[in-house]
Amino acid sequence: MEQEHPLDYFEEKPERHKLYAKETILLFSIVYTVLFGVMLYLWNLKIIGKWQKGIVVVLAGFLYHSFAWEVVQRFSIPFLVTFGVNLLGGLLLVGPIWNRQIGRDFPFNEKSRWLPFALSTILLVAYFLLRYRYFTEFF
Count CB-CB contacts under 10 A for residue 18: 12
pLDDT tens digit sequence for 88-135: 999 999 999 999 999 999 999 999 999 999 999 999 899 888 887 776
Every domain of the chain and the residues it spans = 18-111
pLDDT at 139 over 70: no
Closest CA to 57 of 24, 103, 92, 33: 92
Q: Which H or E run includes 20? A: none
pLDDT at 7 over 80: no
pLDDT at 10 over 60: no
